[in-house]
Amino acid sequence: MSKILVTGVAGFIGFHLSQKLLKMGEEVIGIDSLNDYYDVNLKQARLAQLENYQNFRFSKLDISDRTNIAELFVRESPSKVIHLAAQAGVRYSLSNPHAYVDSNLIGFVNILESCRHTSIQHLIFASSSSVYGANKKRPFSTHDNVDHPISLYAATKKANELMAHSYSHLYNLPTTGLRFFTVYGPWGRPDMALFLFTQAILSDQPINVFNQGKMQRNFTYIDDVIDAIIRIQNRIPQPNLDATLDPSTSHAPYRIYNIGSERSVNLDDFIGVIENYVGKKAKKNLLPLQPGDVPVADADVQDLAQDFGFKPTIPIEVGIPRFVDWYRSYYHI
């Protein structure tokens, strides 16, 4: 049994990952600030599910709190860290930039420093598909440069990758970055498209459809994402001694992977699956592309398949009904 520290444990991915690890018999130390970026009651409800496990302990901590984070690492001495805590959201970063500096930059330095001072075996951290920014080459590949982020959120996630690489190089800290594409499923975030669309359609309210609906996203079901993380956390990255390196590998013990599905989906088709399952048509407000958004997000997941034998198995036709069923049950609709 390993002792694993999961940051952002009351978040969407952190909750599902911790639940899986606990069922596997691992000891999970969870931290979360429980901030009010979205409904705190939902975060607390996720946390209540985890607190049913004897091998789970929770501390309410903000990762920007350097002293208390360092003390937690010394006290708990985890063997692995899965760092998911961050200020999320592209649009929110336009109006609240300091929240991203505090959490995604200062907070990440605190995690890196604590990892190097406590001999962590493996740091797995959340990056984002948003780092691809203005890249035109499709599908998005970890072997391509990502030098043109188009939101502050994306810039902080690219910065996380660079910061992690420097610690891998300087201190031989094994780190693996995960570029998540659009993750969805039960217990999902209220600011995400599936949650907003389901809520509005069931309430006979209009939905906002950006870029006139001409959007493609790589929707990835939460169970597939957790399967990928579980596989990755068990393999410590090794230095790539090949003289010809690209952005996904390093002479240091560092790797980057895309975590996505094998095909992107048109937003209209995504909405159509919701409509068919709930038996209602959406009322659409067709709006222009929003600042910071990209019209197409398409993941190259070949490295994940090659290195871990991973293949996503749950299409939107299965995943969306599972979310809608959870939503109706949770909100008693």
Dist. CA 105–CA 85, nearest whole Å: 11
Q: What is the largest CA-CA distance in the chain?
A: 59
Beta strand 3-7 pairing with 27-32: parallel
Q: Which of 153, 184, 221, 327 is catalytic?
A: 153
Dist. CA 157–CA 31, nearest whole Å: 20
Torsion of CA 191, 192, 197, 203, to 10 degrees: -30
**Active-site residue 153, yes or no?**
yes
Report whether the peptide linkage leading into residue 291 is cis, meaning its omega lies within 30 degrees of zero.
no
Dist. CA 175–CA 303, nearest whole Å: 16
Going by C-alpha positions, the residue among 55, 2, 70, 8 that lies closest to residue 33 is 8
Q: What are the CA-CA distances from residue 287 to residues 58, 192, 212, 264 (Å)?
A: 42, 17, 5, 21
Beta strand 254-259 pairing with 27-32: unpaired
Alpha-helix residue ranges (DSSP H) falling in 83-127: 92-95, 97-100, 107-117
Q: Which residues are catalytic?
A: 153
